[in-house]
Amino acid sequence: MKNEAVKIIKAKKKYILEQWFQNQLDNEGLREDLITNDDQRIQSEELINLFAASISDDNFDNFQSRDFEKIEEILSGIAIARARRGFSPRETGVYIFSLKAAILKTLSEEISDATVLYTESMRINSLFDNFSMITFETFIKGREDVILRQTDEITEISTPVIKIWDGILALPIIGTLDSSRTQIVMENLLQEIVETGSSIAILDISGVPAIDTLVAQHLIKTVSATRLMGAECIISGIRPEIAQTVVHLGIDLSEIVTKATLASALKLAFSMIELEVRKKVTPKIFQ
């Protein structure tokens, strides 16, 4: 009776597909907003057909068989696609586990001998445990790739260099500064200094939640790099709590021009390039 499961799966693959697809439809976490039922069915049909064609008496107990490479490739593709579309690990796991449930249900209907049913069910469990591990490993890798890409995009968005006047640049920093982000800040700022020929750069740290020794060192490095490019750097957004922290930590910012607000830093920048901005007074017209 060794070949019982293989025979049943090959003979009942259409029935198994229907059971599997129904299991997916019955799942409360079905995400029709991320994948249509038609696409889900096409995907499921392709996998069950390939699975039925790949299994044999020789490889059914050997999940490392090269006969399963195509199945593993499809499962990996499905896992990566679902990670990128926003599926959760549970939702992805339900997809493969519901197929195993459909197969086990079919075996229980076709095999009357309890001993044979137990043996064949254990073989199915073993094979699908391997498929599940491959699916989850690939899903995690796909999710990590998505997170890394989003982190890079957010970093780029959160470090814009703005030309606020001829010769004056501003770089508002939001969030915590670490080594990799400091490198991006410096690269963006120095590149913009070269392209615009600006002589003053304002680093606004109003959006930085806290200052510690490491963050201060990153700021000092950025200021030093700016000066090497022939531009002066002003740090604005020094709140009272940040000033107290800097003094408490013994951080020396005495050689760096600092201002409490971006407005006061801009006013200083205007004076440094000998530019005076005055409010226009509109004369009143009397009838």
Across the 287 residues of the chain, what is the mean pLDDT of every consecutive 10-residue run?
81 92 77 77 89 88 85 88 84 87 93 91 90 89 84 69 91 79 83 92 87 82 90 90 83 85 92 84 63
Task: Assess whether 191 and 139 both reside in one domain.
Answer: no
Residues of the domain holding 169:
162-272
Task: Assess whether 105 and 177 both reside in one domain.
Answer: no
Task: Assess whether 197 and 106 both reside in one domain.
Answer: no
The token duo for 88 is 């959760």
- Residue 279: inside a domain, yes or no? no
Task: Assess whether 207 and 263 both reside in one domain.
Answer: yes
Q: Name the domain boundary from 92, 118, 152.
A: 152
Cβ contact 259:235 at 8 Å: yes
Task: Assess whether 223 and 248 both reside in one domain.
Answer: yes
Cβ contact 161:202 at 8 Å: no
Q: Which of 214, 147, 152, 203 is nearest to 177 (CA)?
A: 214
- Residue 224: inside a domain, yes or no? yes
Whole-number pLDDT of residue 29: 61
Q: Left if phi > 0, otherwise alpha if psi is -120 to 50, otherwise beta: which for 182?
A: alpha
- Residue 212: inside a domain, yes or no? yes
- Pairwise CA distance, residues 159 & 221, whole Å: 16
Whole-number pLDDT of residue 2: 57
- For β-strands 257-259 and 200-207, DSSP reports them as unpaired
Cβ contact 46:77 at 8 Å: no
- Indicate yes or no: pTM above 0.75: no
CATH number at residue 39: 1.10.490.10
- Pairwise CA distance, residues 17 & 14, whole Å: 5
Neighbours of 1 (CB within 10 A): 11
The token duo for 72 is 């593993």
- Residue 280: inside a domain, yes or no? no
- Pairwise CA distance, residues 203 & 237, whole Å: 8
Q: Which residues of 221-257 are buried (b: 16+ CB within 10 A; e: fewer)?
A: bbbebbeebebbbbbbbbeeebeebbeeeebebeebb
Distances (CA, A) of 210 to 145, 229, 240: 29, 28, 11
Task: Assess whether 172 and 58 both reside in one domain.
Answer: no
- Residue 277: inside a domain, yes or no? no
Q: Which of 124, 126, 125, 47 is nearest to 81 (CA)?
A: 47
Task: Assess whether 39 and 107 both reside in one domain.
Answer: yes
Task: Assess whether 51 and 180 both reside in one domain.
Answer: no
Task: Assess whether 143 and 169 both reside in one domain.
Answer: no
Whole-number pLDDT of residue 197: 92
How many structural domains is the chain composed of?
Answer: 2
Task: Assess whether 77 and 187 both reside in one domain.
Answer: no
SS3 23: helix
Whole-number pLDDT of residue 1: 45
Q: Name the domain boundary from 117, 152, 187.
A: 152
Task: Assess whether 11 and 122 both reside in one domain.
Answer: yes
